[in-house]
Amino acid sequence: MKESFVDVLIIGAGPTGLMAALALKRAGIDVRVVDKRRAATQEGVSVGQADGIQPRTLEILQTYGLADELFRQGGQLHTTAFYNPACKGDNIELSVRVPTVTATTARYKFNVTLHQGAVEGIFREALSSMGVEVEHSTVPTSLDILDEYLGNPNAYAVKVHLADGDSANPSPNEVVNARFVLGTDGARSWTRKALGFVLEGEQTDLYWGVIDFVPETNFPDIRNHCLSHTRYGSFMVIPREGDLVRLYVQMDKDTLDLDESGDFDRFKMSPDTLLKAAQLRLQPYNISLKDPAAGYAWWTIYRIGQRVANKYGMHERVLLAGDATHTHSPKAGQGMNAGICDAHNLAWKIAQVLQGHAELSLLKTYELERRTYAQSLISFDKEYAKLFSTAGVTHEKFMRAHRAYSPFISGIDFTYPHSPITQETHQDYASGVVVGRPFPPHVFFRVADARPINIQDMLPANGLFKLLVFAGEHARADFSADLQAFADGLADILAKYGRSGTPIAMDVVTIMAGKQDPACLLRIPSTLRPHWAQVVIDDDTDVHGHSAGGGYEKFGINPSRGAIVVVRPDSVTGAIAPLQKIEALEGYFDDFLLPSLV
């Protein structure tokens, strides 16, 4: 039998698994990705399934250089229209149109819609450019964790037998020895079952139909995100890429021919049934297939389940992510987004461990952070699903809920709990930057060439911590002395956590306050300006005299004293420290990084 060795074996090549593979490979980690599906050209996801990409996910994908391709291929949702029953009859009428995204710190004030197959294609192309190809028609048959190797993160502690997925009776033809295994194989996860874990929660009695098609309609908001209550039940409109539209239609369970367990026979339904239900709810407007011969791009009926895995991993060597850990209704567009964020959170931690920079215990923060998020997601989803599926919900209540939930839906408004990598001790030094949340966007000017640049574009997903040195007002008397003292201390920290005499790599960005002046670069110690493009300034006017600046005020930083903001490799704010207390920064890293033995 063939035997192989790999740093990380990823089981499942949906968006979560592909995101994990991309993040790990970018960090220099050896990965393999296997998937039970046939090659994408034969049986891939070309339509349907997940398709909504939230602002936070867009920010993440931008750090990998993938957002522009999403913008090119996808549709965008900027406006949400609310419809409600008219005073008389069965018609609906417009109540209000509002911005789809209301999170004040979101860089992208819109959602992107693009079918899952296209999203996977963008990931696959990026992986292929780095020499990683998905191994299709490949299934795991057994998984063993070797207890004697658990204490050594460099040991191949997991054995997985693989087989040909096209075989009627798959028998192992390869044993893979992996340091880590990720189960990103969906809601029916083989990996989760192999570990003996379960999804905890409930299956509701709420049923929804979904159809993707190109419509012929006089409904005025067909190209806007639309939420509607009607006398016949609720519906939702999601405009898609090109001319496609997705309709979610609340189904009357009495029409579904349910069995005793509440399950239904999908083969007794048809997309025509769902379209007729939508037509009833859209009165007085008309909607039909634009081209009956072309038919429907995709359709399904689902029963809402809201569950979270009881555990996210075993011994920090086999870990789960994505739908393998949480299931919920798709109407708020969270599934693919949550999975991508799971992978983004986990990958940098595995990389830090494999590179010898961090203890294996760092991986405990993955379940702490992402399971806490998943539990919040399920709590939100229960309330959100009720708004659609419960009779008698007033327009006012629906609008209040939309305003309250929109920041969470966007992925921006969630704070990771306190942990060794999320420490709030000096939060008051940057009161506008929330520790445990993504570092927010803002446009500064590069000192060397006055070019405006968004700070998020200086935080690429390269597996490194970013130290944002808010140096303060460069005209103040103690500016140079403060920076030199900090730079000397930082050099010691980098050497402390380095390997083989090489300092640990961290990206340093220095952000000054004051008037634009290229000569300021000469006042920045070399440790704090590793490249001329890494020094920016918060000037209140740009080179053309236009109003600008406001970054220090936005972030709650006093320009007379400055501050240090540590941004983790997943672009989440990990800690804030005073510029004058280098020991506070060292204390943060001491909690999870391994000092050099040299």
Percent of the residues in the chain that have a pLDDT greater than 70, as a whole number: 93
End-to-end, the C-alpha distance of the chain in Å comes to 41
Torsions phi, psi of 234, nearest 5? -95, 160
Q: Which among 471, 481, 75 is positioned nearest to 243, based on CA atoms? A: 75
Q: What is the pLDDT of residue 324?
A: 96
Residue 504: predicted pLDDT? 78
Three-state secondary-structure class, residue 320: strand
pLDDT higher than threshold 70 for residue 40: no
Q: Look at residues 468, 447, 448, 469 and name the one whose alpha carbon lies nearest to residue 456.
A: 468
Contacts of 44 (CB under 8 A, 6+ apart): 37, 38, 117, 120
Position 501 scores a pLDDT of 64
- pLDDT for 452: 94
Calpha distance 193→201 (Å, rounded)? 16
Look at residue 478 in the predicted model and tell me its pLDDT: 84
pLDDT at 392: 63
Segment (H or E) for 32: strand 31-34
| Three-state secondary structure string covering 513-537 | ECCCCHHHHHHCCHHHCCCHHHEEE
pLDDT for 44 equals 44
In this predicted structure, the answer to whether residue 22 has a pLDDT above a threshold of 80 is: yes
Please give the single-letter amino acid code of residue 411: G
The two structure tokens encoding residue 403: 């305003």
Residue 545: pLDDT band (50, 70, 90) is confident
- pLDDT digit string, tens, across residues 75-120: 999 999 999 999 888 899 999 999 999 999 999 999 999 999 999 9
Q: Pick 247 or 250 by higher pLDDT.
A: 247
CA 559 to CA 14: how far, in whole Å? Answer: 46
Q: Which helix (H) or strand (E) holds 245?
A: strand 245-250
d(CA 47, CA 448) in angstroms, rounded, equals 47
How does pLDDT run across 366-422, given as a tens digit for each residue?
Answer: 999 999 999 999 988 888 777 776 666 677 777 887 788 888 889 999 999 999 999
Please spell the DSSP secondary structure of 403-439, one letter per residue: HHHHHHHTT-S--PPPBTTBB-TTGGGGTTS-TTSBP
SS3 category, 562 = coil
Ramachandran class of 257: left when φ > 0, alpha when ψ lies in -120 to 50, beta otherwise = left
Predicted confidence band at 597 (pLDDT cuts at 50, 70, 90)? low
Tell me which of 6 and 261 has the higher pLDDT: 6
Q: Which ranges in 149-284 belong to alpha helices (H)?
A: 190-195, 271-281
CA-to-CA distance for 37 and 10, rounded, in angstroms?
14
Specify whether the CB–CB gap between 148 and 123 falls below 8 A. no
The mean-pLDDT minimum among 49-53, 64-68, 451-455, 570-574 falls in 49-53
Reported as a pLDDT band with limits 50, 70 and 90, residue 332 is low
- pLDDT of 23 > 80? The answer is yes
pLDDT at res. 43: 41
> How many whole angstroms separate alpha carbon 67 and alpha carbon 542?
27
Tell me the average pLDDT across 60-73.
97
Q: Helix, strand or coil for residue 509?
A: strand
Comparing 47-56, 70-79, 132-141, the range with the smallest average pLDDT is 47-56
Structural domains in the chain? Answer: 2-74+113-200+306-410 (3.50.50.60), 203-305 (3.30.9.10), 427-591 (3.40.30.20)
Phi and psi (nearest 5°) for 134? -70, 135
pLDDT band at 424 (very low <50, low <70, confident <90, very high): very high
- Omega within 30 of 0 (cis) for the link into 525: no
CB 211 within 8 A of CB 275: yes
pLDDT bin (cut points 50, 70, 90) of residue 437 is very high
* Cα dist from 252 to 206, 249, 490, whole Å: 9, 10, 63
* pLDDT, the chain, mean: 91
Determine which helix (DSSP H) or strand (DSSP E) holds 41, and give its type and residue range: helix 40-43
Nearest partner of 463 among 355, 550, 307, 341, judged by Cα: 355
In angstroms, the Cα distances linking 71 to 53, 62, 75, 78, 80 are: 10, 11, 7, 13, 19
pTM: 0.94
Tokens of 596: 């050099």
Alpha-carbon torsion angle 202, 83, 241, 64, nearest 10: -60
Please give the structure tokens belonging to residue 157: 């502690």
For residue 81, what are the CA distances in angstroms to 25, 228, 336, 405, 425?
Answer: 41, 8, 24, 16, 42
